Copies of this chain bind each other. A is one copy, B any other.
Amino acid sequence: MGAVKNKRMPRAVREQQMLDAAVRTFGQRGYRAASMDEIADLAGVSKPLVYLYLNSKEDLFTACIRREAAALTAAVRAGVHPGLPADRQLWEGLRAFFTHTAQNPDGWAVLHLQARTHGEPFAAEVTAMREELVAFVTQLIAVAAREAHRDPSPAERAEHEVAGLAEALVGAAESLAAWANTTPGVSAKQAAATLMNFAWAGLGNLMDGRAWAPPKS
C-alpha cells in the first residue's frame, strides 16, 4: 500500500494521494485495464472514499489528466528564462520537457498515450495542453525571426503547418527519449542536443523560405 491505512486525513490530502495512485495505475495499466480496486488499494483507502471524492472512473481519469497537464506546462514555463536568445530558450524548454517527462513517466504516459487512446471526454483535455505548448513554441519562432532581422511573415504560415511542426517535434522528442533510455552510453542531454540539431536548422530554413521542394510528380 502506498500510505498508512485508516488514518483520518483532510480531504485535500487524500485527494492528492488518490490522484498519485491513479496516475501511476492509469499510466502503467491503461485506462481500461486499471481497476478502481487497484487504485484505491494503492492510495491506501477504500473504494467508496475514492468515489466520494472523485465521483467516477471517468472523472478520476479527467482529474489526472488535468493535474498532469498543468504540471507539465508549468515545468516547461519554469525552465525558460525570457531574457535569453530564442535558440537558447528553445533549448531550455526542451530540457525542461525532457526532464519533467523523464521524472514523471506515468504522468507522461497518461497524457501522451492513455488520454489520446480513449475517446472524447479525454482527448480534449490533452488538446488544450498541447495548444498551450504549441503557442509557446510558435511565439519562440516569432522571436527567433525578429532576432534574425527577418520579416515576421513566417508567423503567417497556416496554423496547421505550425501545428504539424509541433507534432513532429514532440514525436521526435518522445522517440529520442525512449531511445536514450534504452541505449547505453546516450544521456538525456545528448538526446536533447540531437533533437536541437535535428530541428533548429530546419526551422531556420523554413523561416528563410528555403524550404525543401517536393518533386512535382
A residues with CB within 8 A of B: 29-33, 87-88, 91, 113-114, 116-119, 160-161, 163-165, 167-176, 178-180, 183, 185-186, 189-206, 210-212, 214-215
Contacts and interface: CB of A to CB of B under 8 A. Distances in A.
Contact of A175 (B119, B174, B178): B174
A214 B199 contact: no
A214 B192 contact: yes
A202 B212 contact: no
Contacts of A191: 164
Contact of A118 (B30, B185, B200): B30
Nearest to A185: B160
Contacts of A176: 164, 167-168, 171
Nearest to A213: B193
A167 B179 contact: yes
